[in-house]
């Protein structure tokens, strides 16, 4: 079971020092445009389906992406598993991963997915702090074929849903949109 309080032992148990309590690490905070999903497990659920997962790795510091890619008809055309394209995806997409070996990087770790033929960015995310991830660009489709557009200001799914300045507490669960 998950232990919510962990005690860090002190050198001398009889000393009048305070005992340090270590808080468990909180979930990931995901910024999508101007929207913030706090305390998530890194999973983004779009229109009822878990479509992408963002994870962090500490040594070296990097962002890991797992994602299903669909066309405008809702047919799966690509798959990325922890920054590796599946065999049938390599002809259509490229992935660029920036890592950092510095504890405080000058350039944040990021993952960028682009279409091979056009060079257009399909998805881009970067690690802005240890537990905060910003999705900076999005131009991909959901499993229903609706276009997901992410800009610095909004997140739009199809023509029916646009989120702007939305803040949600996920309580360790998925970030759900739509």
* Banded pLDDT at 2 (limits 50, 70, 90): very low
In the chain, alpha helices (H): none
Q: In this predicted model, what pLDDT tens digit does every residue of 129-173 receive, in sequence order?
A: 888 999 999 999 999 999 999 999 999 999 989 999 999 999 999
Is 88 strand, coil or helix? helix
* CB count in 10 Å sphere of residue 157: 21
Tell me the mean pLDDT in the region 25-51. 93
* Banded pLDDT at 11 (limits 50, 70, 90): low
**What are 174's two structure tokens?**
């998925």
13-27, 30-44, 148-162: which range is least confident on average? Answer: 13-27
Nearest to 54 by CA among 33, 78, 77, 28: 28
Residue 128 has pLDDT above 70, yes or no: yes
Is 173 strand, coil or helix? coil
Residue labelled with tokens 């537990």: 131
Domain ranges of the chain: 29-177
Apex CA 111: angle with CA 106 and CA 115, to 5°?
135
Euclidean distance between CA atoms 143 and 146, whole angstroms = 8
* Banded pLDDT at 25 (limits 50, 70, 90): low
Tell me the mean pLDDT in the region 31-41. 96
Nearest to 38 by CA among 48, 46, 28, 47: 28
Identify the pLDDT of residue 1: 43
Residue labelled with tokens 């060079």: 119
**What are 39's two structure tokens?**
């305390």
């Amino acid at each position: 079971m998950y232990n919510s309080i962990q005690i860090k032992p002190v050198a001398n148990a009889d000393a009048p020092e305070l005992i340090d309590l270590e808080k468990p690490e909180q979930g990931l905070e995901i910024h999508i445009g101007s929207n913030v999903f706090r305390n998530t497990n890194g999973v983004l659920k779009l229109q009822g389906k878990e479509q992408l997962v963002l994870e962090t790795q500490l040594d070296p510091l990097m962002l890991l992406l797992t994602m299903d890619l669909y066309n405008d008809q809702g047919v799966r055309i690509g798959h990325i598993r922890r920054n590796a394209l599946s065999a049938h995806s390599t002809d259509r997409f490229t992935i660029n991963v920036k890592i950092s070996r510095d504890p405080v990087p000058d350039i944040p770790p990021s993952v960028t997915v682009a279409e091979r033929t056009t060079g257009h960015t399909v998805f881009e995310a970067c690690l802005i702090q240890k537990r905060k991830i910003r999705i900076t660009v999005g131009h991909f489709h959901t499993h229903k074929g609706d276009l997901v557009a992410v800009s610095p200001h909004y997140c739009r799914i199809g023509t029916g849903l646009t989120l702007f300045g939305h803040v949600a507490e996920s309580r360790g669960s998925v970030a759900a949109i739509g």
